[in-house]
Amino acid sequence: MLDRKTDIGAVKDTVLEKEEATNGRIKNDLMVLERFPEEPESGFAVRKGLDGALKKKLKQVLLDMYKDPDGQNVLEKFGARRFVETTDEDYKGVYEYARELGIHIQTFDYAGKE
């Protein structure tokens, strides 16, 4: 980071905070132009049409894994403390930002073309 190979970039807030704590140049040499509203990170989604009972069981396993030592170990490797349930409302900032940029989330081709 800060190797003068680019003029602008984007970074997850937790990564920035970690770098700031270990590298004094970050606060001195890096200018934050904008901060995106907080939204859930590392979202988990399943395919449309997945069996309802399987979705429910998978959801419960993920939400409860912090209660189990093996689950805690997996979460630690994942860099998380636990999974939390989210709703569409939690992603409101993402939707608004995409709308401002003219990105249609429902039809966007994530390979780089719309």
| Ramachandran assignment for 36, one of left (phi > 0), alpha (psi -120 to 50 degrees), beta (any other) | beta
Distance CA 38, CA 97 (A): 12
Looking from the CA of 38 toward its CB, the CA atoms found within 13 Å total 2
Enclosing domain of residue 88? 40-114
What confidence score (pLDDT) does residue 35 get?
83
Q: And the tokens for 22?
A: 């270990």
- Same domain assignment for residues 28 and 45: no
Number of domains within the chain: 2
pLDDT digits (tens, 9 = 90+) for 65-96: 999 999 999 999 988 889 999 888 888 888 88
Looking at the structure, do residues 52 and 78 belong to the same domain, yes or no?
yes
- For residue 113, list its beta bridge partners: 109
Supply the Cα-derived Rg of the chain in whole angstroms: 18
pTM for the model: 0.60
Residues 108 and 58 in one domain: yes
